[in-house]
């Protein structure tokens, strides 16, 4: 009998998580499974059309939204329950927090035989305020009772879920995300002259000190903290620049971006802070970065941009999070979440070091990475390995 699988994901844009979901779906279809997706209201019409044209069945659930809307959660739960009953899946695999809780509860109500949940970050992580932490931990424990297997992107994340009583250790498995690191390895191999040329192409001068960040423009990525730190350092370092590589997607995210832009204008920093918009080629910006600034408050399980920074040799300064210590070769100086004075002090020391070091602060390589570190990065975050290990979880659960 053909195995029927549903992947449930909150949003459907060209993001890393959706890329992982599509990679798993493609592999499972190659194994002869019937695979369908259930996605929320916030989805790219172009991506939906493209994947449906490839024969992938995608059900859109309008009540399933990225951000908490209490009036919609019951509707989303009911809609997912009806979908699972109607389609008769043998496996439901949920991704991201909202889809993870509602999808797993709906799957158990619909008596789906096997339920898997992929955890990309701790919804009750230390960066969350205590009230949200308590609420989300309780929801995760409830949904955890309906989960047959957990897939974690990092070991620290899995340990946090085990300590919180959400996931028994025997139900969890660490499967690192799969990434194509080749564009970032190409950046790492650039000569100092080529780096300077690429910086100029992106609008930076040789004397500029460029702080970089690659992420969606959303509140949980902490761009307002980055702006606060940058503004306090700008008077000490006149050539300091900040490149925010990313964009907002949903209407509420766009509203946050507009507030951010207003704050930038209010501080007269329009010429010093660049918001590039969304790009399919983030690696090209790493050639311009002197430091990677991470102010994310999101409950990261293993920050992929830190992997990219490690591949390119760009040092990271920012707020601490799970998974950083699991990345081979990462050069990270981290402070507790939301501690702006500590982050400012650390960043000032790093910038002063760049200025004092001959050839630094102008797009030259940051010492590079030993070949063995680059090989280890590629092995650890290999997409083929991620897909194979994920299939092993299915194989064990289904007993075939």
Q: What is the mean pLDDT of residues 20-29?
A: 96
Tally of domains in the chain: 2
Helix ranges (DSSP H) in the chain? 16-30, 45-53, 70-87, 97-109, 130-144, 155-163, 182-188, 192-201, 223-234, 251-266, 283-286, 304-312, 340-356, 371-380, 383-398
Tell me the C-alpha distance between 204 and 272, whole Å: 10
Annotate 4-49 with DSSP letters as a single string.
Answer: EEEEEES-BSSSHHHHHHHHHHHHHHHTT-EEEEEE-S-B-HHHHH
Confidence of residue 132 (pLDDT cuts 50, 70, 90): confident
- pLDDT for position 347: 97
For residues 24 and 39, membership in a common domain is answered with yes
Question: 33-90, pLDDT tens digit by residue?
Answer: 999 999 999 999 999 999 999 999 999 999 998 876 777 899 999 999 999 999 999 9
Range of the domain at 98: 4-178+382-398
Q: Indicate if 204 and 72 belong to the same structural domain.
A: no
Does 165 score more than 70 pLDDT?
yes
User: Which pLDDT value is given to residue 97?
Assistant: 87
Q: What is the pLDDT of residues 322-367, one digit of tens each?
A: 999 999 999 999 999 999 999 999 999 999 999 987 555 444 445 5
Give the mean model confidence (pLDDT) for residues 168-176: 95
- Residue 237 and residue 295 share a domain: yes
Q: Does residue 391 share a domain with residue 357?
A: no
In this structure, of 159-168, 301-310, 359-368, the range with the lowest mean pLDDT score is 359-368
Same domain, 37 and 142: yes
Question: In percent, how much of the chain has pLDDT > 90?
Answer: 81
Examine the domain organization and report whether 100 and 205 are in the same domain.
Answer: no
pTM equals 0.91
Phi, psi of 349 (to 5 degrees): -65, -40
CATH (domain of 196): 3.40.50.2000
Give tens-digit pLDDT for 208-254.
999 999 999 999 899 999 999 999 999 999 999 999 999 998 888 99
Mean of per-residue pLDDT scores for the chain: 92
């Amino acid at each position: 009998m053909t195995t029927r699988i549903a992947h449930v994901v909150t949003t459907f844009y060209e993001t890393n998580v959706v890329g992982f979901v599509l990679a798993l779906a493609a592999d499972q279809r190659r194994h002869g499974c019937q695979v369908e997706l259930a996605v929320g209201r916030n989805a790219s019409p172009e991506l939906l059309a493209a994947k449906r044209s490839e024969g992938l069945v995608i059900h859109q659930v309008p009540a399933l939204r990225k951000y908490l809307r209490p009036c919609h959660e019951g509707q989303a739960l009911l809609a997912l329950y009806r979908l699972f009953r109607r389609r008769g899946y043998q496996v439901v695999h949920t991704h991201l927090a909202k889809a993870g809780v509602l999808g797993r509860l709906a799957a158990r109500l619909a008596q789906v035989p096997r339920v898997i949940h992929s955890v990309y970050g701790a919804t009750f992580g230390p960066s969350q305020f205590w009230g949200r932490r308590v609420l989300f931990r309780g929801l995760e424990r409830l949904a955890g009772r309906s989960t047959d297997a957990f897939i974690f992107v990092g070991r620290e994340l899995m340990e946090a879920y085990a300590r919180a009583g959400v996931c028994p250790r025997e139900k969890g498995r660490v499967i690192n995300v799969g990434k194509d690191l080749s564009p970032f390895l190409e950046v790492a191999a650039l000569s100092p002259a080529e780096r300077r040329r690429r910086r100029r192409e992106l609008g930076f001068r040789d004397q500029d000190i460029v702080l970089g960040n690659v992420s969606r423009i959303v509140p949980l990525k902490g761009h307002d903290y980055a702006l606060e730190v940058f503004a306090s350092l700008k008077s000490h370092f006149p050539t300091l620049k900040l490149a925010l590589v990313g964009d907002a997607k949903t209407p509420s995210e766009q509203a946050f971006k507009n507030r951010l832009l207003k704050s930038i204008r209010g501080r007269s920093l329009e010429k010093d802070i660049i918001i590039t918009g969304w790009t399919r080629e983030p690696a090209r910006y790493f050639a311009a970065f002197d430091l990677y600034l991470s102010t994310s408050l999101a409950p990261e399980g293993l920050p992929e941009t830190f992997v990219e920074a490690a591949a390119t040799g760009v040092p990271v300064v920012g707020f601490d999070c799970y998974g950083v210590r699991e990345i081979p070769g990462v050069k990270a100086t981290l402070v507790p979440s939301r501690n702006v004075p500590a982050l400012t002090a650390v960043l000032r020391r790093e910038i002063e070091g760049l200025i004092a070091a001959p050839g630094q602060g102008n797009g030259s390589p940051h010492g590079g990475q030993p070949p063995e570190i680059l090989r280890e990065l590629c092995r650890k975050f290999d997409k083929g390995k991620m897909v194979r290990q994920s299939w092993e979880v299915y194989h064990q659960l289904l007993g075939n």
